[in-house]
């Protein structure tokens, strides 16, 4: 994971079933790199091979979750009725991309418009909470606690601003070269949704956070 906060998250009661944690361990990207180096594996000398299933079939929509605005763009790909290539290009320029602290934009949806905000960096969330409390309506608000999104997470190797920009660009390149761009077109995902997840989607995939102590609230999570 790019995220140190997920270590805390995995220990929370919301992620336990009958007292047993759903996740055994959370390893950050930095820790994984250290483990690989310590084990003596030299990546450059490895013969390329296919990724283990079920992780070998991915969609570009899943890949862009790693950069701020990516979750929003993936959702818009899912709900958009224009499933053509030009539809993808349109959504790429709709206002979700870019590292600004807050982006607000409208997206046509049938005979309505979706009012959307994308927040990059937890401290900017305060600037959107005010208008929401004052009654401004949003159909979707994405908040990435780390400025720039998970590519800049605390579990990632340190890099200066240029490196963060390159990571975001790398994510968009990986997306544009994916053979599957929308999550609903990933056959593994549809099989999961129609199979073992059926009837349990909300219970297994969505989390509702209750009220926690001040100490717990200090840990930021999206
Ligand atoms: S943006 Fe959220 S999930 Fe991603 S690394 Fe930061 S805290 Fe973790």
pLDDT (tens, 9 = 90+) of the chain, 222 residues, equals: 999 999 999 999 999 989 999 999 999 999 999 999 999 999 889 999 998 888 889 999 999 999 999 999 999 999 999 999 999 999 999 999 999 999 999 999 999 999 999 999 999 999 999 999 999 999 999 999 999 999 999 999 998 888 889 999 999 999 999 999 999 999 999 999 999 999 999 988 898 887 654 444 444 445
Ligand 1, pocket residues at CB < 6 Å: 2-3, 5, 144-146, 149-150, 153, 220, 222
Give the CA count within 13 Å in the CB-facing half-sphere of 62: 14
C-alpha to C-alpha distance for 222 and 220, rounded to whole angstroms = 7
Query: 147 alpha carbon to ligand 1 midpoint, in Å?
Result: 9
Question: Please, are residues 144 and 124 in contact by the beta-carbon 8 Å criterion?
Answer: no
Q: Tell me how far the alpha carbon of residue 52 lies from the centroid of ligand 1, in angstroms.
A: 25
Model-level pTM?
A: 0.89
Where exactly are the structural domains of the chain?
A: 5-217
Which CA distances in Å does 27 have to 7, 79, 146, 163, 198? 8, 33, 18, 22, 29
């Amino acid at each position: 994971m790019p995220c140190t906060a997920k270590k805390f998250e995995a220990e929370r009661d919301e992620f336990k079933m009958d007292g047993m944690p759903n996740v055994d361990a959370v390893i950050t990207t930095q820790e994984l790199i250290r483990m690989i180096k310590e084990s003596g594996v030299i990546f450059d000398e490895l013969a390329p091979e296919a990724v283990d299933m079920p992780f070998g079939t991915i969609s570009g929509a899943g890949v862009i979750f790693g950069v701020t605005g990516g979750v929003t763009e993936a959702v818009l790909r899912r709900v958009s009725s224009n499933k053509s290539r030009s539809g993808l290009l349109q959504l790429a320029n709709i206002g979700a991309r870019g590292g600004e602290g807050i982006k607000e934009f409208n997206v046509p949806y049938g005979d309505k418009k979706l009012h959307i905000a994308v927040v990059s960096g937890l401290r900017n969330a305060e600037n959107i909470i005010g208008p929401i409390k004052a009654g401004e309506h949003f159909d979707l608000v994405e908040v990435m606690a780390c400025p720039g999104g998970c590519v800049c997470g605390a579990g990632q190797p340190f890099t200066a601003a240029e490196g963060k920009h390159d990571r975001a660009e790398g994510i968009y390149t990986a997306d544009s070269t994916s053979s599957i761009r929308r999550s609903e077109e990933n056959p593994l995902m549809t099989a999961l949704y129609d199979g073992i997840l059926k009837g349990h989607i909300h219970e297994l995939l969505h989390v509702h956070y209750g009220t926690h102590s001040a100490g717990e609230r200090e840990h930021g999570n999206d």
